Amino acid sequence: MEVLGRLLALLVVLLLGTGLRATGILDAGRTTRLNAVAYYVALPALIFVSTYEQAIGTLLSTALVGGLLLVLFVTAGVAWLVHRNRDSKDRQSVAVIQSYHSNIGYLGVPLIAATFDQTVTAIASVILGVVTLVQLPLSVLILSTLNGADAAIGAKLRELATNPVLLTLLAGLSVGSLGLSVPGPAATGLDIVGSLALPLALLCVGASLEVDLPAVDYGATGSVVALKIVCMPALAWVVFSALAVDAATFTAAVVMFATPTAVSTFVFAAELGGDTEFASLNVFVTTLLSMGSLFLLISLVG
């Protein structure tokens, strides 16, 4: 019941963001500023606090990296097969990337931090780093290839090199691996700031959700939903069970892959010739339905 209560609270905050956008309180400018606070301040603080006491050798393993890559590429491959006959390339490209591109940063790490202990959160932060380095270039490549768009993949890779979340992850793991200490007041302050990551992220996601019901392609959207919030976490469950990883790694991996489609896929679609209405709809539906699927999954692994 505690897990259900937490996820219902998250759903309320998510819908609050949608309501604030509809009333004009969270307009585009305010949403952008709120998004910047979440992305550049709260989420990095959460990641640093969860990792600065952990040595990288205790979190990163061959089994973890291999399992993450296997789940990601197998899901992407299945998505390619499922969506290969979509009517248009702009819709096909969006359907493929949204079937595997997970919202592991804004929702995954903060949700795990609010639900599980610091060890699971630290592993989730490492998963965020590894998966982001792969899924972002992969999505840009797929969109640009199918839509004939001019994508500067090199520029995207340079953006990754200055990504505040990844830089904070490296800083936290470096402090932990070197056995350095962080002053108590600083750690407490960062912990407080990090606790804001999830509510801020949910408000931003809610303010970004839009849906045009008359334009719903039920078959395409249903396939994206099935692959993203059902098949991908199920595959992660099988893969990491077979790898016989520890309980914390198993929990972090399965829950992270169970997160909905990332809002950033809508941005990529807009930049690289994808079907933006379709992308927006899929973000909305996977986010809304994932509240129920995450409750079931967290109950099973918790």
Res. 152: pLDDT tops 70: no
pLDDT tens digit string along 286-302?
988 998 899 889 988 87
Q: Which two tokens stand for residue 118?
A: 């610091």
Tell me how far apart the alpha carbons of residues 50 and 42 are, in angstroms, rounded to a whole number: 12
- CATH number for the domain spanning 23: value is 1.20.1530.20
- Per-residue pLDDT band at 215 (split at 50, 70, 90): low
CA–CA dist 220, 222 (Å, integer): 5
| Residues with Cβ within 8 Å of residue 113, at least 6 apart in sequence | 46, 50, 121, 124, 194, 197, 198
Q: Is the predicted pLDDT of residue 14 greater than 60, yes or no?
A: yes
Cβ count near 27 (within 10 Å): 12
Q: Looking at the predicted structure, is the pLDDT value of residue 80 above 70?
A: yes
In terms of Cβ atoms closer than 10 Å to its own Cβ (0-12, 13-18, 19+), residue 223 is buried
Secondary structure in 3-state letters for 94-133: HHHHHCCCECHHHHHHHHHHHHCCHHHHHHHHHHHHHHHH
Give the model confidence (pLDDT) of 88-127 as tens digits: 898 999 999 999 999 998 889 998 998 899 999 999 999 9
Average predicted confidence (pLDDT) for the chain? 87
Q: Which of 300, 293, 299 is nearest to 107 (CA)?
A: 293
Single pTM value for the model: 0.88
Domain hosting 243: range is 2-301
According to the 3-state scheme, what is the secondary structure of 129-197?
HHHHHHHHHHHHHHHHHHHCCCCCHHHHHHHHHCCHHHHHHHHHHHHHHHCCCCCHHHHHHHHHHHCCH
Would you say residue 213 has pLDDT above 60?
no
Least confident of 80-84, 145-149, 225-229, 274-278: 145-149
Instruction: Compute the distance between CA of residue 267 and CA of residue 247 in angstroms, rounded to an integer.
Output: 35
Tell whether the model's pLDDT for residue 155 goes beyond 70. no
* Total domains present in the chain: 1
pLDDT for res 15: 83
